[in-house]
Structure 1
Amino acid sequence: MLIFNKNIMSPTATTAKQLDIEKLIEELTIEEKLSLLAGKDFWHTVPIERLDIPSIRVSDGPNGIRGTKFFNSVPSNCFPCGTGLAATFNKDLLVEVGQLMGKEARMKGAHVILGPTCNIVRSPLGGRAFESYSEDPLLSGHAASHVIQGIQSQKIVACIKHFVANDQEDERKAVNEIITERALREIYLKPFHIAIRDAYPKALMTAYNKINGVHVSQSKQLLQELLRKEWGYDGTIMSDWHGVYSSKESLDAGLNLEMPGPTRFRQQTATLHSIQTNEIHRDVIDDNARYILKLVNESLKSGIPKDVIESPNPTQEASALLRKAGDESIVLLKNDNNILPLSKTAKEKIAIIGPNAKAAQDSGGGSASLNAAYKITPFEGIESKVKEGGNKITLDYSLGAFLDRNLPDIGHTLINELGQKGLYARFYKEPPESNNRKVFEEFPLSTSRIFLSDFKSKNLAPGEILFYADFTGTFIPDETGDYDFGVSCLGTAQLFVDDKLIVDNKTKQTKGDAFFLGVGTREERGVLHLEKGKEYNIRVEFGSSPTFTLNKAPLEGGGVYFGIRIKTTGEELIKKAVEVAKDADKVVLVVGISKEWESEGFDRPTMDIPGYTNELVSAVVKANPNVIVVNQSGSPVTLPWIKDIPAFVQAWYGGNELGNTIADILFGDHNPSGKLSMSFPEKIEDVPSFLNFGSTNGQVIYGEDVFVGYRYYDKVKRAPLFPFGYGLSYTTFELKNLVLSSTNDSINISVKVKNTGKVEGAEVVQVYIEPINPNIIRPVKELKDFGKVLLKPGESKTIKLTISIKEATSYWNGYKSKWQSDKGKYKVLVGNSSDNLTLEDEFETDRTFSWIGL
């Protein structure tokens, strides 16, 4: 039973007394100081009870606040993914998003949120692209800074990550990224620069990768010279999880906290020996300990009580904000003949087709994924709109194509022995063949994707990770036919139907990519004929990671994924979908990818949507030309049929409310106002990093230099399929009366925006700066600020923006190792996307100057 914790202290509550850091540095023993420099466990720092230094709790946070458990965690609210949030181009809304994250961290007892993520979407193939914000460093920096402002307004610490250039998953802990200093400064460091300058996150997480030969987590150049000295950053620096590669080097560089615990590289015997032999200076230990105590002090300001019982946030206010953020994130990219919005009251038949129509693609995979408190599928969202219109619309459905990399989660289709949707789990210390098995834990579960890396029980001794479990449920088929059964695992597993062995992933195992670190088996399958309406007892017998036969499993208890699906072919599914489409007035095709394809731990092999989706779209549009395609992905996918369809909607991974937000856009209850946070190329070969993505013998060259995204397409005069900053509306806008004034320090921009259409809507005003006759090779133009305004039909408002001269004009001068602003003329280009800049003016600077710092 979930308990809503009403006793969590508010941000205005009395906070605990602050620690006297310098006094503690004198009182702590060297052993106690060392213990502070690594985590206690996966989510906590080490307390020193003798001196009243408490443990602090951290939680994953880019998509929502998970809390302290992967397995069977307390449900959380899932936010739209990072690229979707950036597509709102709404600074005020992002502050609200951060505030809700801060409130929910408090309810999970977390003092520190491990987020936001503000790496660059260098390629659509990046496995964690969805977690980040944009291909553009300014949009990324502003999105991060406003989310951080919201989080820290709740007296919760934001830990910005991953510093720096964690832009691919291929060999992410080993890859050496060769990056010019200019590209590093102008593109990859710039979001952190902006966020630290404008919001000052109290913590920062280092990246896994190397830059120019040195792991970031032990780089004195990046952590000491740049962060501490040049930027004056005084927050706490922690590693990514298992992202430490040395003892002395990381301590000397100022990596304050090794996570998670217990330590791998800061063990007391070895580190004390290094201190006693003057390999590591005692002052280095003191300096690092000071930053841990600073983080403790910042955490004490939250007033979060010790050992909080984690609770969800099932409030209407939270759902409303998630829906608002999702509504504003969705981008309308094509709408020929105004086929959208749909009418709720028209007497017509709408076919809902596609692998994502009845699936809830709430987030990408990996550490950003969580146990969402609820999920609304696109079909459910559309069904609700039809009911609102009096059920005059008839809905029909067809799957159309499979998307799953493996067979789908069946937690929502099984019935457990309590009569609830889901399955039932029983844990044993004895294997299935034992005659004297005793249950030591049992409870219902809602998913058949079971990740036990942090499974704990009072009946298991510390460090005891060998155990067994039976997962059971009843399956009732919707139709008669042959069914595929699949099992992948990190450990061993066998699946039985009515006590008959159907899948064996125990006696013979093959390496695959199960689990987000790609360390499990491939999915093994079996086939069984089932009859419609008949009850079948499903049992999966699982052995934890020590039983794994392929290699030593690194994820503690391991895990098992299993699924069931009727056996069919892609051609058969398309044929059924075409028949449904022919009989409809309009078709909504919900396609895209999922967390199985876009996830931490691996990069996408291609930009294509996997499986038969492209064939499905082409076949359906031939059968019925009135097709609206809704795509869900965190980054671009190939769209070979885009010219054949009248409407296209980019919906991202939408969090809890994804189905409602898609329906809000389709039916016009929310006028789309999202703008693309990255360019959508026509094909992967057009991407500037195409020849230089992924690890080649442990190395990747950032050969496109500063020409990332639209900077590249502008320079080579090659139009992408959809440009950065682009997005349509159900109304029209006029931008006029550009007024520009400048001083030696700043330029002031004023633009009048008018809604010239018939419905309320919001427009994003984007300001780009173009150097005229630059002294070096530079991007044609760069985004320097933006603002969003909501207007009723016929209403006008003036947007005013101020941009500092140094930010508007500067580039990194590698010879001087400073930013440089050149004397000369610059264009100010204003419009509503990077390729539609309808207003223009110029300003001139009268001096060349260099600068450094924030």
Structure 2
Amino acid sequence: MKHADIVNRMTAEEKAAFLSGKSEWESWNFERLGIPSIFMSDGPSGIRKQAGEGDHLGLNPSVPATCFPSSATLCNSWDAALTEEVGEGLGREAMAEGVNVLLGPGMNIKRNPLCGRNFEYFSEDPYLTGKLAAAEVRGIQSRGVAACCKHFAVNSQETRRMAMNAVIDERTLREIYLTAFEIAVKESHPRAMMSSYNEVNGVYANENRHLLTDILRKEWGFDGFVVTDWGASNDHVLGVKNGSNLEMPNPGLDSARELLAGVKSGRISQDEVDQRVDELLDVVLELTAEAKKVRQNHDDHDGSVQASCLDKDAIHRENHQLARRAAAESMVLLKNEDRILPLKSGTRVAIIGDFAFEPRYQGAGSSMVNATKVENIRDLAGGYDLQVVGTARGYRRDGSEDATLIGEAVSLAKQADVVLLFFGLNEQSESEGLDRTHLRIPQNQITLMREIQEANRNTVGIISAGSVIEMPWHSLFKGLLHAYLPGQAGASAMLDVLTGAVNPSGHLGETILNKYEDTPSYSYYPALERNSEYRESVFVGYRYFETADVPVLFPFGYGLSYTTFEYSALQVEESGIRFTLKNTGTRDGAEVVQMYVGMKDSALFRPVRELKGFAKIFLKVGEEKKVSIPFDDKTFRVRNRMTDRWEIEGGTYQISVGSSCRDLRLFASVEKQGDLEQLPYDREKCGCYYKADIRRVSDEAYEEILGYPVPSGSWNQKSLGINDALCQMYYAKSPIARKIYRVLDRKLKKSQAEGGVPDLNTMFQYNMPFRAIAKMTGGLVSMEMVKSIVEMVNGHFFRGMGGVIGGFFRNRKENKQYLRKLN
């Protein structure tokens, strides 16, 4: 142990308490031992440090902070250097606010476009996700603040996220869902990792030794601490035993007592507890020492440049400009017919759309930031070389039809040379705790765009949405700019791109498909009762669309520019590839070059091509550069479940280079010696995978790649348990429980129907399991009481009520006794 001197002086009670939160956002501190607490804050897109009483979902206000573009937006930059700068900006604000651990980046793979939290995640591709996440972690931690990668692992849906089991084969787990985390851990050494709510192959992620110990610590060399997602702890003893360090938020001291009892009974050893304490203590001492040093420097150099490290106003001003640049470089130009963009000097424009007045710039949930300054198009457009003939809202944000608004917008459109229509998904459509039910935008926006196109064919659409939407209406626009969720400076960034002050260089980090039914996981999403079966295996996103030759609207990696680029002279060497890139257009600009690798005659089933390298290259008009993209340990590897190793299959690999996964300009091949000797599959049993025909995978084929029978995920409708969700109370034996379910269900549906910001509190309650009541009530409810509540739900009212009442008084008494021992 690194800190045996301190650990050996701690009492058993102090050690047990240390491994759970003291408050909603803080760890325990013990002054007699010199152990300070650390403060954690949500923050994938900005610091969400609550000013008053803390809560997980951001129901109470937070301090002002810069709202950067969402991870889904920033991913479209394909720019690791820019992403690292954003990380530095986040780290600076965190340090100034006294935040030690920033809970981000979010880096789960976008398995399905309906996932309500996709706006918080980078990409459908693990390589791109890992490289950008590693860059953001480096930036955050360069400022003395710990980054916390999340959610580890296989967190692909929000529906019943705390009460579902991801059933996934080992190869898919390693190649698709863990590779991004592996890259981040090995390349940026994050000081914290957040475990996810869900089970992975029947074991909760926070108790999963395979994930937390065998892979994360032993194989990858992770040396930070593992924290639960808020309320994600199931069996605290098993969590600590298998590699989890800190249970959050504040479960009271019931969990600490549970851990002490576990040591006494032999469920966990004292050495295992000490090891978790030492791992957490190492990061706590490091972070607090760094924060103390920064503040000491500030005091010693007050009034100098050094003081700016804690000057919130100065940081906010600088970060606003950084957020603007990041947004501009991340927007994706999808269409540009007749070169309608960039807008010419003096163009008469009509600005239409509710989003031009009140922008949709961030997602909902625990990542929602109290932005320091939110720009809007209406107020800023006059500062550009355009003639604004007028502005009109055009549609209601809640989706309801309004003929008067449409009429005003159409009348205005007739007066303009070009119409700029701002539209997309409203706040209700994308949120933590809620999956989408479809990929459509509100119908009233489509009605408006059809009417406007009749009035003026020179229409440019500017989309605000956190993730994929269907676009059957795209032909109504000559120009389409996808801004995603661009953060607080999104309006100026949009106008910079529209007017040509910035040449768009964003490329899609996910596929925009024609219709949701084309999604590879369409038949398996979300979880059916308890199990979410990943039957599509490695065929996620473009890996499926390219291999199965499924038409898409805009492919992975796609993005237009105001200039053109020429690729030539590809050379393949042992260490990587080299080629020449030239700007052949009339504007300076940046191109995202992408390297894909595939193996045509593989003895395994594989995607036809996979991203294995990329670079963003800026070139002036007429300039050309030699571009190098290296091979690495992930370029040719495949996971063999039979040998439990990464191996290389010997043979000929195809190398392709281009501007998207379907716009490939250069091709070559390379021979590789391999060490794959034992094939993991019986081809006859899982032949559908070799054809990429994965929309209806049979049990036999799925079991062949799993290596074991498909587990049952059916709910036990005879009785509910502590790991069942409150939404399952519709079949509870207790009429009171069924009534509570109906109240929650009506409240949730009413919130969804009304539009606006989602009712996060109701959504969280609706989907959480009973056990979370003991983990999210600050010690008011013990696990003993939860078990009695479940008895009441199952029809044993008086017995259960007796247990709740008795448990309440025992819990209160034991908490007081424990606190006396800590003091």
Please state which band the TM-score falls in when normalised by the shorter chain: 0.7 to 0.9
Q: Give CA deviations for 1:633-683 in whole Å, capped at 9, x if unaligned.
A: 111111121123211111011111010011111101000000001000011
Q: Which amino acid aligns with 1:624?
A: N
- 2-structure distance, mates of 1:303, 1:839: 50
Partner-residue secondary structure (3-state), 2:22: coil
Matching residue of 1:277: 265
Asked if 2 retains the 8 angstrom alpha-carbon contact of 1:65 and 1:77, the reply is yes
- 2-structure distance, mates of 1:264, 1:796: 64
Q: Give CA deviations for 1:580-637 in whole Å, capped at 9, x if unaligned.
A: 2122221111011133211101011110112411111122112211110011111111
Matching residue of 2:131: 142
Deviates more, 1:373-382 or 1:87-96: 373-382
Matching residue of 1:356: 355
Asked if 1 retains the 8 angstrom alpha-carbon contact of 2:570 and 2:578, the reply is yes
Q: Does 1:42 align with 2:24?
A: yes
Q: Does 1:298 align with 2:286?
A: yes
Identity of aligned residues (%): 37
Q: Give CA deviations for 1:755-814 in whole Å, capped at 9, x if unaligned.
A: 11111100111000111311111000000010111111111112112112x411111112
Q: Give CA deviations for 1:471-526 in whole Å, capped at 9, x if unaligned.
A: xxxxxxxxxxxxxxxxxxxxxxxxxxxxxxxxxxxxxxxxxxxxxxxxxxxxxxxx
Matching residue of 2:326: 325
How far apart are 1:264 and its partner, in Å?
6.7
Matching residue of 1:442: none
Q: Does 1:403 align with 2:397?
A: yes
- 1-structure distance, mates of 2:214, 2:252: 26
Q: Give CA deviations for 1:394-434 in whole Å, capped at 9, x if unaligned.
A: 331221112237xxxxxxxxxxxxxxxxxxxxxxxxxxxxx
Matching residue of 1:373: 372
Asked if 2 retains the 8 angstrom alpha-carbon contact of 1:89 and 1:764, the reply is yes
Asked if 2 retains the 8 angstrom alpha-carbon contact of 1:116 and 1:147, the reply is yes
- Check 1:358–1:262 CA distance in 2 against 1; reply closer, same or farther (3 A cut): same
Matching residue of 2:590: 762
Q: Which amino acid aligns with 1:334?
A: K
How far apart are 1:20 and its partner, in Å?
6.4
Partner-residue secondary structure (3-state), 1:222: helix
Q: Does 1:95 align with 2:96?
A: no
- 2-structure distance, mates of 1:218, 1:786: 36
- 1-structure distance, mates of 2:380, 2:608: 42
Q: Does 1:824 align with 2:651?
A: yes
Q: Does 1:634 align with 2:634?
A: no
- 1-structure distance, mates of 2:560, 2:535: 33
- 1-structure distance, mates of 2:380, 2:197: 39
Q: 1:796 aligns with which of 624, 636, 640?
A: 624
Matching residue of 1:710: 542
Asked if 1 retains the 8 angstrom alpha-carbon contact of 2:521 and 2:535, the reply is yes
- Check 1:370–1:310 CA distance in 2 against 1; reply closer, same or farther (3 A cut): farther
Partner-residue secondary structure (3-state), 1:76: coil
How far apart are 1:233 and its partner, in Å?
1.8
Residue-pair matches, total: 658
How far apart are 1:60 and its partner, in Å?
0.9
Deviates more, 1:65-74 or 1:84-93: 65-74
How far apart are 1:748 and its partner, in Å?
1.9
Structure-to-structure mapping, 1:113-512, within 5 angstroms: 113-263=102-252, 266-268=255-257, 270-304=258-292, 311=312, 313=314, 315-346=316-347, 348=348, 350-385=349-384, 389=385, 393-404=387-398
How far apart are 1:224 and its partner, in Å?
1.6
Partner-residue secondary structure (3-state), 1:636: coil
Deviates more, 1:133-142 or 1:682-691: 682-691
- 1-structure distance, mates of 2:389, 2:199: 53
- 1-structure distance, mates of 2:401, 2:670: 62
Q: Does 1:671 align with 2:498?
A: no
Partner-residue secondary structure (3-state), 1:612: helix
Deviates more, 1:242-251 or 1:299-308: 299-308
Matching residue of 1:558: none
How far apart are 1:222 and its partner, in Å?
1.3
- Check 1:640–1:167 CA distance in 2 against 1; reply closer, same or farther (3 A cut): same
Matching residue of 1:31: 13
- 1-structure distance, mates of 2:676, 2:423: 51
How far apart are 1:306 and its partner, in Å?
8.9
Partner-residue secondary structure (3-state), 1:333: strand
How far apart are 1:370 and its partner, in Å?
1.1
Q: Give CA deviations for 1:440-464 in whole Å, capped at 9, x if unaligned.
A: xxxxxxxxxxxxxxxxxxxxxxxxx
Deviates more, 1:569-578 or 1:371-380: 569-578
Asked if 2 retains the 8 angstrom alpha-carbon contact of 1:77 and 1:313, the reply is no
How far apart are 1:393 and its partner, in Å?
0.7
Q: 2:663 aligns with which of 825, 829, 836?
A: 836
- Check 1:306–1:319 CA distance in 2 against 1; reply closer, same or farther (3 A cut): closer
Q: Does 1:81 align with 2:70?
A: yes
Q: 2:488 aligns with which of 650, 656, 665?
A: 656
Deviates more, 1:816-825 or 1:304-313: 304-313
Q: Which amino acid aligns with 2:318?
A: E
Asked if 1 retains the 8 angstrom alpha-carbon contact of 2:389 and 2:412, the reply is no
Matching residue of 2:408: 576
Q: Does 1:784 align with 2:612?
A: yes
Partner-residue secondary structure (3-state), 1:606: coil
- 2-structure distance, mates of 1:595, 1:142: 29
- Check 1:679–1:283 CA distance in 2 against 1; reply closer, same or farther (3 A cut): same
Asked if 1 retains the 8 angstrom alpha-carbon contact of 2:146 and 2:192, the reply is yes
TM-score with structure 2 setting the length: 0.78
- 2-structure distance, mates of 1:724, 1:272: 51
Give structure 1 stretches of 5+ with no counterpart: 1-18, 406-567
Asked if 1 retains the 8 angstrom alpha-carbon contact of 2:389 and 2:415, the reply is no
Matching residue of 1:508: none
- 2-structure distance, mates of 1:235, 1:830: 37
Partner-residue secondary structure (3-state), 2:189: coil
- 2-structure distance, mates of 1:284, 1:290: 10
Asked if 1 retains the 8 angstrom alpha-carbon contact of 2:95 and 2:144, the reply is no
Asked if 2 retains the 8 angstrom alpha-carbon contact of 1:381 and 1:662, the reply is no
- 1-structure distance, mates of 2:267, 2:589: 63
Partner-residue secondary structure (3-state), 1:113: strand
- Check 1:396–1:119 CA distance in 2 against 1; reply closer, same or farther (3 A cut): same
Partner-residue secondary structure (3-state), 2:66: coil
Asked if 1 retains the 8 angstrom alpha-carbon contact of 2:352 and 2:391, the reply is yes
- 2-structure distance, mates of 1:812, 1:615: 49
- 2-structure distance, mates of 1:222, 1:116: 19
Q: Which amino acid aligns with 2:608?
A: V
Asked if 2 retains the 8 angstrom alpha-carbon contact of 1:715 and 1:779, the reply is yes
Runs of 4+ in 1 over 6 A off after TM superposition: 305-310
Give structure 2 stretches of 5+ with no counterpart: 52-57, 299-309, 679-823
- Check 1:68–1:844 CA distance in 2 against 1; reply closer, same or farther (3 A cut): same
- Check 1:686–1:198 CA distance in 2 against 1; reply closer, same or farther (3 A cut): same
How far apart are 1:117 and its partner, in Å?
0.5
- Check 1:620–1:816 CA distance in 2 against 1; reply closer, same or farther (3 A cut): same
- 2-structure distance, mates of 1:215, 1:310: 42
- 2-structure distance, mates of 1:604, 1:573: 27
Partner-residue secondary structure (3-state), 1:835: coil
- 2-structure distance, mates of 1:766, 1:273: 55
Partner-residue secondary structure (3-state), 1:731: coil
- 2-structure distance, mates of 1:381, 1:230: 52
Partner-residue secondary structure (3-state), 2:428: coil
Matching residue of 2:735: none
How far apart are 1:311 and its partner, in Å?
4.5
Q: Which amino acid aligns with 2:652?
A: K
Matching residue of 2:674: 847
- 1-structure distance, mates of 2:170, 2:646: 11
Q: Which amino acid aligns with 2:71?
A: G
- 2-structure distance, mates of 1:576, 1:592: 20
- Check 1:264–1:360 CA distance in 2 against 1; reply closer, same or farther (3 A cut): farther
Asked if 2 retains the 8 angstrom alpha-carbon contact of 1:76 and 1:312, the reply is no
How far apart are 1:368 and its partner, in Å?
0.8
- 2-structure distance, mates of 1:128, 1:312: 30
